[in-house]
């Protein structure tokens, strides 16, 4: 009986011990697992290394961000410059075109275009007329034609192939007329570049230049020319 009793108490005690051991070890086990989960196997040096690497990465990214902003700014500047350059190029080309035009107007270069050709010749000798001046071409006739041409929009006018400018002078000099110091005998060929129709109708106006010239016994011919080439102004 005694042995059984002792054994019974021992069995109970061992049961208690089993439960105790189970609980303690289970709790220990779980705590261990929890700690492992919270700190996934990182030693101090590893952690420091990770931290420093992460810091480096962050710093690098910040630098990248800054550089990207700078790049954007620079790109904007480049775009602006390009736009400005384009504008300037446009301005320059405009200026170049203008210069070309102005040169043409000033007679610095050869010009070419459609226009009309007017020939003024002295009238035929008339023994009945006492004064031969009545049928000679005078500088005022030339003036009239030239003025009419300029008024009706001629872009370039030349006498006997000599370009006229705004400073040109025409002087009657006996049997010849002097244009900018160059003597020209009759007949005078006046070429003008411009709108053919307009020039022609302006000259042909009733009571206009043509009629007046014909009244003064001159021989007046007018032709349309599809291509008139005028040389540059002499001495310029």
Residues near another protein (CB under 8 A) are 7, 9-31, 33-34
Q: Which of 213, 228, 208, 192 is nearest to 121 (CA)?
A: 213
Instruction: Give min distance, CB of 6 to another protein, in A.
Output: 10
Of the pair 22, 105, the CB lying nearest another protein is at: 22
Cα angle 65, 70, 76 (rounded to 5 degrees) comes to 130
Of the pair 16, 109, the CB lying nearest another protein is at: 16
First to last CA, the chain: 151
Of the pair 13, 182, the CB lying nearest another protein is at: 13
Cα angle 43, 49, 50 (rounded to 5 degrees) comes to 90
Strands ordered across the beta sheet of 176-179: 170-173, 176-179, 182-184
Instruction: Give min distance, CB of 27 to another protein, in A.
Output: 5
Of the pair 35, 124, the CB lying nearest another protein is at: 35
Pairing mode, strands 156-159 and 219-230: unpaired
Instruction: Give min distance, CB of 39 to another protein, in A.
Output: 15
Instruction: Give min distance, CB of 41 to another protein, in A.
Output: 19
């Amino acid at each position: 009986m005694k042995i059984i009793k002792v054994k019974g108490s021992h069995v109970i005690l061992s049961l208690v011990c089993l439960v105790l051991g189970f609980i303690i070890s289970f709790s220990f086990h779980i705590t261990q697992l929890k700690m492992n989960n919270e700190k996934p196997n990182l030693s101090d040096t590893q952690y420091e290394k990770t931290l420093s690497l992460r810091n480096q990465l962050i710093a690098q990214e910040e630098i990248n961000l800054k550089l990207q902003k700078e790049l954007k700014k620079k790109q904007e500047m480049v775009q602006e410059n390009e736009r400005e350059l384009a504008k300037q190029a446009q301005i320059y080309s405009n200026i170049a075109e203008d210069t070309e035009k102005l040169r043409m107007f000033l007679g610095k270069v050869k010009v070419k275009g459609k226009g009309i050709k007017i020939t003024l010749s002295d009238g035929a000798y008339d023994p009945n007329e006492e004064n031969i001046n009545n049928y000679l071409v005078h500088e005022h006739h030339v003036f009239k034609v030239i003025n009419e041409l300029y008024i009706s929009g001629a872009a370039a006018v030349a006498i006997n192939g000599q370009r006229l400018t705004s400073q040109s002078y025409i002087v009657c000099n006996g049997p010849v007329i002097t244009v900018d110091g160059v003597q020209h005998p009759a007949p005078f060929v006046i070429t003008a570049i411009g709108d053919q129709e307009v020039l022609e109708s302006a000259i042909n106006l009733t009571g206009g230049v043509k009629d007046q010239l014909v009244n003064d016994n001159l021989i007046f011919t007018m032709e349309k020319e599809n291509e008139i080439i005028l040389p540059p102004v002499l001495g310029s």
